Each structure stands twice: as C-alpha cells, then as structure tokens.
Amino acid sequence: MSKIMKETLIKDFKGRGFIDNEMRRERVQVVVRCRPLHPREISDGRVSCVTVDTQRSTIQVRNLKNPDMQPKLFTFDRTYGSSSTQREIYDDVAHSIVHSVMCGYNGTILAYGQTASGKTFTMEGLDNPPEMRGIIPNAFEDIFAHIEQSQSSDHFLVRASYLEIYNEEIRDLLSQSTPNQYRLELKENGDAGVYVKNLTSVTVQSVPDINRLLLMGKKNRSVGATLMNQDSSRSHSIFSITVETSAGPCSEHPDTEKSVIRVGKLNLVDLAGSERLNKTGATGDRFRELTNINWSLSALGNVISALVDGKNTHIPYRDSKLTRLLQDSLGGNTRTVMVANIGPADYNFDESISTLRYANRAKNIKNKPRINEDPKDTILREFQEEIIRLRAQLQINVPEPEARVENNTEREKEMQMYKDQIRQNMEWEVTHYKTLSEQAMACIKADLERKAQQEMEALKAEKERTEEEKQKIAEKLLQQHMELQSHYQALAREKEDREVLAQKLKALEEKLLHGSNSVNEKLSEKAKELAFREQQIREKEYLDEERRRKIAELEEAQLMVEEKCNTMEEDVEAKTRKLKKLMARYQQSKAEISTLRTELQDTIHEFQRERADMFLSLRSLDQQLQLKSFIIEKFIPPEEISKIMRRAIWDEESETWILQSMVQKVPSADGETRVYLTDGIDKQPLQRPVSAMGRNRHMCRQAEDAMARGDRDPRYMMDNIWRLELDMPERTTYDYDNAIDRARAETDVELALMEFDDESPYFSYESNLPTPANLPTPARPKSARTKHHSRPKTATR
C-alpha cells in the first residue's frame, strides 16, 4: 500500500472518530437502518413509531401504547431512514472497509436485527434493478474495479468461501457434497487464528465468477417461512473474500528483491433474525432453530458486554460457533462495522428497542486493526514461485531440426559441383585428341589402351574400395537416419511437454490478476466510475464534517455573543436567559433521570421477558432430559449404564461424547502386541480359548465342567465358542407368593399411572386416575404361578 493510501485511510478513520490516537485502537462502527413499513403492515393499519434524524445521527422510538412515556433516543455513528438507498449505505458503510481489505486489513460487515427487519436486503439486496443490489454484490464490483485501477506490477489473487451456522453446525455452502457431508469443524492455530477445516475456497477472476458462487451458496442456505418473513434466514451466514496482493518492489520497500505480500479478508455476515419464543409459538424443527438462533445471539451479546465492560479478562468466545468465528472481528485485529436493522411498526416497539440497545453496547468495542504483511503460506507466493520455475523451464534453448536439413542440402550441392568439373575435363580431352595423325593416333591408341587397361585395373580396385566405402557410408547414413528419427521423436516429446508447461503457466497466470492486464472496456468504465464515486464520497464526507464543525462553531459563537453583553439590561437579560437555560438543563436532567428510571424499568422487564423465554426453553430441555433418564432407568440395566459411563469420554474438539474402544492393543516388552478386552477399568487379555487336553477343538466352560462331572451331554459336544452365558430370559410375569415380585408389580402399575407435571416439574400421578392404593388387586396371571421359567429345551441331535 502506498504511503498516501495508508495516510488517507488513517485520516478517514480518524476523521470519523474511530481511531484512538494513543492506543492505535479503533472503535467498532455502528450504524442503524430503519426499513419502510411493509404493504401488509400498512394494510393492517400499523403506524411508524420511529423517527430518524440522519443529520444528527440519532434515532427516536416512541411507545404508542403508552403516550406518556418519554421517547427513547439513541445516537450512533450514522442512522438511515426508510428513504435510504442501497448505494448510500454501501458508500458510507462498506466502501472504506472494502478499501482497507485491498490494503491488507481484515474487515467485517455484520447485519444484526429482528426477523424481517431487512438484514438480507441490506447485505444482498435484490438482483434487479442494479440500484437495489446490497453490500455484498457492490463489494464484488468494488474489489475488481480496485484491481483494475492498480499498477500493472501489482498482482492479486482473490478467493471466496461461503458458510452457514445452522443449529450450531457449520455447513459449507459451496460444497458439492450432500448436506449431511458438508458439516465442518472449527480449528485454531497461532497464525491463522480460528478457521474452518476443509472449507471450500474458490479462486475467482471476475465479478460474474464470484456472483455465481454467491448464487450457488444462496441455493444451499437454510431458509424457511416464519409468521413475519416468507423467506426468513434460519442460519447465520458468512461470505468471505480473501484478497492476496503482491505489491512489487514499491516506494515503501525499494531495496527488496521480493515483492511484499499482503492478505486482507472481508467477512460479510448476515445473522439470523432474533425472535421471541412466546411470540412465535414455534414447535418442532422451528423451535429447535429458534432456540439455537437465540442462544448464539445471546452468546454474541455476552461477548459484546464482556468486551465493553473492560473489567472482564475472560471473553466467552467459546460459548458458540458464531462468537468463535467472529473472535477477530470483535475485540481482535479487524475493522468492523455493524449494521443494526429495525422495523418502524409500532407492534415491534420492544424488539426495536432491544436491537438498538444491543447495537448501542457494540459501539464501545475497540479493535486493533493491523495489516497482514507477508504471512506464512500465502497461495499467491506459491503461484509466483511456480510461474518463475515454469518460465525458466520453457526458456531452455533447443536446436531446431531445420539446421540439420540445411547441412545435408549443402553437401549435395558440393557433390554436384565435383561431378560437373569431371565432365568438363573429359569433354576437353575428347576435342583435343580429334586433331592428331593416324600413326600418332595408333601410338596414342596403344598407349591409351595400355593406360586404359592399367586404369581399368586401378578403377576396378578403386571400384571395389568405393563399393566398400559406399557400403560403409550407407550404413553410416542409416545410423544417422535412425539417430535423426529418434531426435525428431525426442523433439516432438519435448514440444508436447513444453505445451503442457505453457498451458500450466497460462492457467496460473490467469488466476493472478494484474492492474493493467485485465483491461477491458467494461471494467475500465467501472474503474472510472469507481474513481468518480470515490471522489463524491470524499466530498460528501468533507461536507458532513464541515456542517458538523459549523453547527458547533455557531453554537459557541452564540454563547460568546450572549456573554459579551455590556449593559446591565443586557447582562440581566443574559443572566435571565442563562438562568432559563440552566432551568431548562435542570428540567432536562430531571427528565433524563426519569427516562433513565423508565429505561431501568424497561431493562428489568426485558430481562424478565428473556428469563421467561430462557425458562421456557430450559423447561422443554429438562422435560426431554427427564424422558431420556426415564427411558434409561427403566429399559437399560444399571450394569450396562455404568459400563457405558466408564467408557464414555467427552471429546473437546467435536464437542460430543465418544465411546472408548473395548479392544485395546498394548505393545509388550517382547515386541509383540497384546490385545485386551476392557470395560473402562479392568483389562482382560483377549486370547483364543485353550483346547481341552486330547481334543482337537475348543470347548466352552460348561462343556469342560460337564466333562469333569462325567456328564456326556451331547449338546456341548459341538461348542466352539468363546464364552457362552446361559442367562435366563427376563421375567415377564410376577410371582405373587414372592414379596420382591409383588413390590415390583406394584411399582410398575404406579409408573403406568404417572404423568409429567408441568408445574412441579416432575412426574406425578394422573389426577383423574386412581392411585395404586385405591387399585383393586390385579388378577393373578396364570403364568405367575410358576416360580421360574423352565429352561428352553435344546434340540437333540
């Protein structure tokens, strides 16, 4: 990031009062958006109880049921009324966070509020028309326009992931697996902090790419209809965009050979809506969803309170998956903005007040944002190194086969030249000898014949030699041809390899985005638009700041003028005015105290309501627990329960009970592995049963005893089993002559008559049924006469 950029950011945040100079800390920015009344609310005759003052960033809520009650006034960093536009919200709230993510900061934008208050509308908006798009799609456009605008030496790698927390389970919304397979675990390590193991992270190159991911994830999200919202989000969702930036040897680091890599992560969080249990009357799955939503939101509230309190050394991040995932955003190293959404309708008075209180507390959280510079294991660094390696591999010089072909043709030309010379010599000799006399000709002829004879012989010898040489040359040529062939093949293979490498290089280079590489008409237009908008935002901020400053100055000047009145009359008047002012202030303070009192009352009422809600869910959980204990007590033998309890271990990571394996393998001193059977305390070596002496097959204990008694009962003869407990089946009848059996029968009758008492809350007798004392003695069942079951008869062989 250039120095100017950094300074602008700091100035921007200081200007808004988010940065505390000494501590380098930054407040969580909190803005409130109040949506318009729904057509349904209007037709139901609902009216607005909310007044938004965008100039003073205040919001006032009146209780229309109780007009005597003082309206409640809250002040935030910014407030937006029903006429606010999506663009306005993005420019004021999200733009600077997205901007800082591009510079290597982490940023979080969080939408909070009651169900149907407009969280999803603020975060995602509508697809069409484009002006209705929310923070998430606008952030996509902004990120890619920033990349487009940056210098060509800068490289970027953009990745996206999308998850939801549904019923305290983390689900990967970009996974191709079926819903049951995409539940993920949370992990923590020093460098990465809290992260989700195996979460799908997709590299994206353009706005349409990332929009496709958002659409895909939205299809997988858990939504359902509630009384207030047809498409209510039943889970908290987090869309994360990680931008890795390689800034190249820049003005800040001129001597570095390697470029500096910065990693910024933007979390776009759409929380599930809070709802009162007793207001919705939800049952079944909806009840479970709602309990989990309220649970995690109250865990978030507890984290906010603990952070704001300042005295708390323990912040309960581990209470829910949501708070663990937002650990860095609340009190960590992230720039955070919370958008609290409310509905204006009078019947939502309680919920709106509760949301505003929640947001008011969050205003005081302080974070310590820092740039993530050169963190370990960045994917961008890996890609850059791989690209350098591939380029080097592709640049190795390979001699081209054409050169060899050229050599061959030159040799052929030389041969042709020699042939031409010999032919010319011969032609000259023939024309010279034609001019001589006959005698001389005879002499010459004889001489020539002799010479010819000699030459013939010499030629014959030469021919033979040439034949041999020709043979050798042919062999050599063949060998050369084969060599050439294999060389061509090697070259073809090399060419293929190079093509593969080039493709790999192209794919890698395409994943990296460059400032000027990605120039295309549309994007350039977008970049221009972005620059223009940025200018507008700055101007708007400057004007806002100016306006605030002028109001303060005028107020101050007014006071000064009043104080400077010289004449007595003026003095008296001024003093009277001052007195009036003091009186007004006194009245105001009095009113404030009474407001605080009513607020305290409200808080107590709210607390009582929340307690009632909690009690309701606790009771339901307690009932379920009692039912399970009841089933365990009545249907599982106590020794089995204690065995399971001994073997059960609480697994911190998966937050579930797991059963220790019954078979334990322990390496012994002699290097062998012994196998033991364990019930959690005792260990018995697991061995094959010993064969009875003189027998060639294993026998059970009963068979051995029977042998010892001399009993030759044939039913043990074929026993080849480890352990055989010949337990009798459970008794199903009672023996009324036996005192214990009689008591058991009476207890069973009592249990059959018991019902769950909502008030106590314990099991009690059904009120309209007779108690066991009044019961007539049940008729003695016939089978009860038998004291014991007769042993089942074994089939004789």
Ligand X SMILES: Nc1ncnc2c1ncn2[C@@H]1O[C@H](COP(=O)(O)OP(=O)(O)OP(=O)(O)O)[C@@H](O)[C@H]1O
Q: How far apart are CA 577 and CA 195, in angstroms?
A: 62
Check residue 78 for interaction with ligand X (CB under 6 A).
no
Check residue 46 for interaction with ligand X (CB under 6 A).
no
Q: Name which of 235 and 259 has its Cβ closer to ligand X.
A: 235
Binding mask 271-310 for ligand X (x = CB under 6 A): -xx-------------------------------------
Applying CB under 6 A, which of residues 57, 106, 108, 233 lies at the interface with ligand X? 233
For residue 72, the minimal CB distance to ligand X (Å) is 21
Applying CB under 6 A, which of residues 117, 150, 222, 242 lies at the interface with ligand X? 117
Cβ neighbours of residue 20 closer than 8 Å, sequence gap 6 or more: 26, 27, 366
Question: What angle is formed at CA 512 by the lines to CA 508 and CA 518, rounded to 5 degrees?
Answer: 120
Q: Are 96 and 139 in contact (CB under 8 A)?
A: no
For residue 114, the minimal CB distance to ligand X (Å) is 7
| Region binding ligand X by CB under 6 A among candidate stretches 168-176, 224-232, 440-448, 745-753 | 224-232
Check residue 355 for interaction with ligand X (CB under 6 A).
no
Residue 30 vs residues 111, 164, 340: alpha-carbon distances, Å: 10, 23, 7
For residue 35, the minimal CB distance to ligand X (Å) is 4
For residue 279, the minimal CB distance to ligand X (Å) is 13
For residue 284, the minimal CB distance to ligand X (Å) is 18
Binding mask 702-741 for ligand X (x = CB under 6 A): ----------------------------------------
Check residue 222 for interaction with ligand X (CB under 6 A).
no
Q: Are 342 and 34 in contact (CB under 8 A)?
A: yes
| Region binding ligand X by CB under 6 A among candidate stretches 110-118, 201-209, 246-254, 667-675 | 110-118
**What's the residue count for the chain?**
797
Q: Name which of 36 and 193 has its Cβ closer to ligand X.
A: 36
Q: Name which of 41 and 534 has its Cβ closer to ligand X.
A: 41
- Continuous segment of H or E residues that includes residue 334: strand 334-342
Check residue 224 for interaction with ligand X (CB under 6 A).
no
Check residue 115 for interaction with ligand X (CB under 6 A).
yes
Check residue 221 for interaction with ligand X (CB under 6 A).
no
What is the pairing mode between strands 58-61 and 50-53?
Answer: antiparallel
Q: Name which of 37 and 330 has its Cβ closer to ligand X.
A: 37
What is the pairing mode between strands 29-34 and 78-80?
Answer: parallel
Q: How far apart are CA 173 and CA 42, in angstroms?
A: 36
For residue 759, the minimal CB distance to ligand X (Å) is 34
| Region binding ligand X by CB under 6 A among candidate stretches 46-54, 181-189, 227-235, 729-737 | 227-235
Cβ neighbours of residue 756 closer than 8 Å, sequence gap 6 or more: 623, 626, 762, 763, 764
Check residue 134 for interaction with ligand X (CB under 6 A).
no
For residue 117, the minimal CB distance to ligand X (Å) is 4
Return the number of other C-beta atoms located less than 10 Å from residue 277's C-beta: 20
Check residue 120 for interaction with ligand X (CB under 6 A).
yes
Check residue 100 for interaction with ligand X (CB under 6 A).
no
DSSP string computed for 353-369: HHHHHHHHHHTT-EE--
Applying CB under 6 A, which of residues 118, 137, 264, 332 lies at the interface with ligand X? 118
Return the number of other C-beta atoms located less than 10 Å from residue 204's C-beta: 21
DSSP string computed for 650-706: EETTTTEEEEPPSEEEEE-TTS-EEEEEESSS-EEE--PPPBPTT-SSB--HHHHHH
Cβ neighbours of residue 734 closer than 8 Å, sequence gap 6 or more: 741, 742, 744, 745, 781, 784
Applying CB under 6 A, which of residues 9, 32, 116, 340 lies at the interface with ligand X? 116
For residue 233, the minimal CB distance to ligand X (Å) is 4
Q: Which residues are part of a known binding site for ATP? A: 113-120
| Region binding ligand X by CB under 6 A among candidate stretches 22-30, 231-239, 397-405, 614-622 | 231-239
Q: Are 190 and 147 in contact (CB under 8 A)?
A: no
For residue 91, the minimal CB distance to ligand X (Å) is 16
Return the number of other C-beta atoms located less than 10 Å from residue 124's C-beta: 22
| Region binding ligand X by CB under 6 A among candidate stretches 109-117, 151-159, 211-219, 554-562 | 109-117
Q: Which residue has the tokens 């706005």?
A: 207
Applying CB under 6 A, which of residues 63, 106, 222, 229 lies at the interface with ligand X? 229
Check residue 48 for interaction with ligand X (CB under 6 A).
no
For residue 223, the minimal CB distance to ligand X (Å) is 7
Applying CB under 6 A, which of residues 6, 8, 36, 218 lies at the interface with ligand X? 36
| Region binding ligand X by CB under 6 A among candidate stretches 61-69, 225-233, 615-623, 750-758 | 225-233
Q: Name which of 111 and 157 has its Cβ closer to ligand X.
A: 111
Q: How far apart are CA 226 and CA 216, in angstroms?
A: 23
Amino acid at 429: E
For residue 88, the minimal CB distance to ligand X (Å) is 11
Q: Are 340 and 356 in contact (CB under 8 A)?
A: yes
Q: How far apart are CA 130 and CA 160, in angstroms?
A: 22
What is the pairing mode between strands 193-196 and 202-204?
Answer: unpaired
Binding mask 235-274 for ligand X (x = CB under 6 A): -------------------------------------xx-
Binding mask 309-348 for ligand X (x = CB under 6 A): --------------------------------x-------
For residue 611, the minimal CB distance to ligand X (Å) is 23
Any idea what DSSP says for residue 794?
A: P
> Quick check: helix, strand or coil at residue 20?
strand
Q: How far apart are CA 473 and CA 486, in angstroms?
A: 20
- Residue 247 in tokens: 């800034």
H helices of 281-401, in order, are 284-309, 321-325, 349-362, 379-394
Q: Name which of 259 and 352 has its Cβ closer to ligand X.
A: 352
Check residue 81 for interaction with ligand X (CB under 6 A).
no
Check residue 90 for interaction with ligand X (CB under 6 A).
no
Q: Name which of 233 and 367 has its Cβ closer to ligand X.
A: 233
Q: Name which of 10 and 132 has its Cβ closer to ligand X.
A: 132
Q: Which residues are part of a known binding site? A: 113-120
DSSP E strands in 114-228: the ranges are 155-166, 169-172, 183-184, 186-189, 193-196, 202-204, 223-224
For residue 127, the minimal CB distance to ligand X (Å) is 12
How many residues in the shown chain lie near ligand X by CB under 6 A?
17
For residue 225, the minimal CB distance to ligand X (Å) is 9
Check residue 121 for interaction with ligand X (CB under 6 A).
yes
Q: Are 754 and 771 in contact (CB under 8 A)?
A: no
Any idea what DSSP says for residue 93?
A: I
* Contacts to ligand X by CB under 6 A: 35-36, 113, 115-121, 229, 231-233, 272-273, 341
